[in-house]
Amino acid sequence: MELRKDLIGTFGYLAKVTSYHFLTEIGMPVLNPNTIIRRVFHRLGLIEGEGTSEALLTKAVGQGNEFAKATSHPIRYIDIVFVALGRGHIRSGDIGVEQGICLKDDPQCSICGVSEYCHYFAQKA
């Protein structure tokens, strides 16, 4: 996280979320708490909102670390899976569905494997 602070301080155009993206792309073991991941984590009740406050970003990164720890998979895998689940356009066969599941405007709750844990689904039902 010190490297992230240094990057933001040194490169003024590198914003809060973009700095995580940069760290992810250079192979650092950190989740990129982008819009998609924040939406999915919020719907699952893992974070309190979808904004970009430092506290919320830190919480999202922490939740990603918990998934990595619990599954024994690298954080990059966790990042890829959650982005694929929440993105509207994915390559056919990547995760077994033609498009993402936890979409912004048309979530596919009926085919989601974690809907029983989802706060969004509970409110919708």
Q: Average of pLDDT values for 55-78?
A: 95
Long-range contacts, 32-36 (Cβ 8 Å, 24+)? 32/79, 33/57, 33/60, 33/61, 33/64, 34/83, 36/82, 36/83, 36/86, 36/87
Q: 33-124 sits in which CATH class? A: mainly alpha
Residues 76-97 have pLDDT tens digits of 999 988 988 898 766 655 556 6
- The reported pTM is 0.85
| Amino acid 48: pLDDT | 95
**Looking at the predicted structure, is the pLDDT value of residue 73 above 70?**
yes
Q: Check if the beta carbon of residue 31 is closer than 8 Å to that of residue 39.
A: no
Q: Average of pLDDT values for 112-120?
A: 91
